[in-house]
Structure 1
């Protein structure tokens, strides 16, 4: 009979499952976090759990917060487990499970007054975010979009915000009114210069209603940049069943992830921070080289394998990596077009980093899905693929493989795989993407003319020629034939 996870059950956990190595009653809050999904719990919460087990930083426990009504279900699950999460780290030859206890509360989602009041308390010294790459209200040029309806609504009524940025602004106002120093805002999302982007969105929203307050934020609030990395798939019944049957624990929302984890961050925390360097976090003066390496080689690599695998009806990422054509496509494109467009990184070999990425993608235990990698291309392609393509074109370098990746995404968005199976909607803009992708079958330039995605890049003649040629071949010959030719076989 599996043991249902709760605080009272910690002493009875099966031998294969580690309990938190500290007294949770001794913890006190210091961080309020928006976005209590799997990545946050496998990354930030896990690093804090490690730190607390050393007897360090125990006044930096987590308080959860959520903007959307739909997050109430997640809160209910975690509340029933006393805010505990079972984390299962999986590698090809091993699996390890432990219970994380770093979170001590989760405010009712979408309860803006309660969330704002909690941010105004002096014990909250860091507000952190994992709200996905598409959650920052940016225009096609990655600048703050003041015309977004959600931003316009919060600017018109700052006292009743509906977005995470409106709530953070209200929390900062409340602290300033009470004479409290502002908290540090720590973004943990996979976007370039994530601290700068967060600052630009927050000050951009403030400027719409109170320019003086925007200036105060610029002068007084810290936004450290960071690079975060851990492959963490969504939780399904598969993961719940593995935990129940192999480890003897019943958890409504466990997290499965790879053993590898990396967190590189700038050390800019005026109100202090947990000593995370003792738990494996690397603090550096400039995180930009590390984040660019990761975004282009890892996140870009995910995009490279995602769409051919999706078109070939492959379900899991490790299955895609086991297909010789997809593996060869990834290696050739990385070595000839991605790595040459990644600047040097301190104390890092880029080829060795890619070798590590290739092994991580091939991990058969993770259960990461191709569909997850294909998700939200309209937000991810401009961040993970197009900057590399732009740099390659500007330098006169090879772009055949990157153009093929764009064509594969277009072909995927047409909504049907090579076998004729329907692809379920997989992007916030799926309907418009599908219409354009189908039009591009006869007029390829229609795809590149999506200025919200490609901007001026879509008009480059080298990209347009290669893209049109690859897309026509994908429709006429199929994915395998095109990959075979590209890979030289």
Structure 2
């Protein structure tokens, strides 16, 4: 019978999985984190758990919070197991379980007064976040912060009662400034280019709506280091809970399964102090830009490449997509011919070898990552992961046939049915808009590229428009498999 996860049960669980090698009661909080979902618990929380096990920096434990109902649900579940998480790290031929204990408290998202009090606490030296790529209120076409977004406008009109992450951070910084307390560092752990700069633009932007002088103070006095984060971490469901109980004898209401690989590259800009994460594998660099561009374009761009053909062909798991000869060859051809060649050099890194590593990671059968997850939120992900590569290639006069086909596959997916005729459940925050536009594009491909907030100048480029229209027409005429075969045949 499986052992229910709890502090009391850790001695018994230690026979089945690695457990925290430190006294959790001796930890104190130094980090307030927004967004306590699977990726945070597989990445930042796991690195800190490793660090605490070395005996270092026990004053940098995590308090978790958020602003969504999802955060509320996770916090409630974690509270029932003493804020412990079972993390199952998987390679193709092995799986290892560990219990992490670096989170020591949570604050309910609805208790904004308590969040603001904690933001003003001098012990909190880092405020971190995983709020998804689409959570930064960025105009996809311009890359600029959007102060007119209704949620941001509401915080700007009510700065003392904010409801967004960035409004809360701004209000917390104001309290610290007014009390003479040094500002905390704001550390984004989200998967988007220049995530620190995006966080800074959002915090400064919301503050400027009510107090431009305070906004200038934030820009001058608060650190927002950029970082590159990487670990494939699928969603948790009954499959994962059942596997954990069967394979390791642990009952965890919200375990996290992930790959064994992980990477974190950070700019070393923490004026208020930081944990010594370099002791457990975090790489601190003066400029993270080359690393994040490599990861976002090769890995995340690669996910987009395999997602939509696999989704249209009713393939469920990512490793099954990699087992499909057409999908695997499609990924290989686009990466080798169109994506990797325009990724700028990365210090001490062979980008071709990095892509080969990505292929092995995608093919890992243990992860159970779903194609549907990769297809999620294309309206936010495509402008970050795919369209910049298209823009670079167009600027250099290079071919974009494969990337145009990727865009056409995304459009065809957003029509809302697979090749078999199965209905695709809504899979984008803007799903209604995407399906309506994809329907219009069936007869007029330019309708899709006219989404200025997504495609910008790329959508107006005659070369790209022609290539996109040709592939979209082929998909509707011949189907996904035949169109992929035509592309692969050259």
Partner Cα distance (2:255, 2:236) in 1? 7
Shift of 1:110: 2.3
Matched, 1:97 2:97: yes
Contact 1:69 1:110 in 2 (8 A): no
Partner Cα distance (1:435, 1:317) in 2? 27
Contact 2:449 2:465 in 1 (8 A): yes
Shift of 1:68: 2.1
Matches within 5 A, 1:92-171: 92-140=92-140, 141-171=142-172
1:202 corresponds to? 203
Secondary structure of the residue aligned to 1:334 is helix
User: Cα gap change, 1:280/1:66 in structure 2, threshold over 3 Å: closer, same or farther?
Assistant: same
Matches within 5 A, 1:159-238: 159-238=160-239
Shift of 1:26: 1.4
1:488 corresponds to? 489
1:340 corresponds to? 341
2:311 corresponds to? 310
Matches within 5 A, 1:265-284: 265-284=266-285
Gaps of 5+ in 2: none
Partner Cα distance (1:31, 1:73) in 2? 21
2:366 corresponds to? 365
Secondary structure of the residue aligned to 1:219 is helix
Partner Cα distance (2:3, 2:377) in 1? 37
Shift of 1:160: 0.6
Partner Cα distance (2:250, 2:95) in 1? 14
Tell me the alpha carbon deviations over residues 17-40 of structure 1, each in whole angstroms, 9 at most, x when there is no partner: 111111111111100000000000
Secondary structure of the residue aligned to 2:428 is coil
Secondary structure of the residue aligned to 1:8 is coil
Secondary structure of the residue aligned to 1:135 is helix
User: Cα gap change, 1:406/1:106 in structure 2, threshold over 3 Å: closer, same or farther?
Assistant: same
Tell me the alpha carbon deviations over residues 425-445 of structure 1, each in whole angstroms, 9 at most, x when there is no partner: 000110111011011111111
1:43 corresponds to? 43
Alpha-carbon RMSD: 0.8
Tell me the alpha carbon deviations over residues 285-319 of structure 1, each in whole angstroms, 9 at most, x when there is no partner: 11000000000000000000000000000000000
2:413 corresponds to? 412
Partner Cα distance (2:110, 2:43) in 1? 24
Tell me the alpha carbon deviations over residues 349-389 of structure 1, each in whole angstroms, 9 at most, x when there is no partner: 01100000000000000000000000000000000000000
Partner Cα distance (1:70, 1:234) in 2? 12
Partner Cα distance (1:73, 1:290) in 2? 34
1:436 corresponds to? 437
Contact 1:338 1:388 in 2 (8 A): yes
Tell me the alpha carbon deviations over residues 217-244 of structure 1, each in whole angstroms, 9 at most, x when there is no partner: 0111000000000000000100000001
Partner Cα distance (2:163, 2:26) in 1? 34
Shift of 1:70: 4.1
Contact 1:36 1:64 in 2 (8 A): yes
Shift of 1:16: 2.6
Partner Cα distance (2:223, 2:328) in 1? 42
Partner Cα distance (2:455, 2:327) in 1? 25
Secondary structure of the residue aligned to 2:269 is coil
Gaps of 5+ in 1: none
1:300 corresponds to? 301
Partner Cα distance (1:144, 1:328) in 2? 37
Tell me the alpha carbon deviations over residues 167-203 of structure 1, each in whole angstroms, 9 at most, x when there is no partner: 1111111111211000000001011011111101110
Shift of 1:14: 5.3
Contact 1:448 1:458 in 2 (8 A): yes
Matches within 5 A, 1:279-290: 279-290=280-291
Alignment length, in residue pairs? 489
Contact 1:67 1:111 in 2 (8 A): no
Tell me the alpha carbon deviations over residues 227-274 of structure 1, each in whole angstroms, 9 at most, x when there is no partner: 000000000100000001111000010000000000000000001100
Contact 2:37 2:71 in 1 (8 A): no
Secondary structure of the residue aligned to 1:32 is strand
Partner Cα distance (2:245, 2:377) in 1? 31
Partner Cα distance (2:169, 2:234) in 1? 28
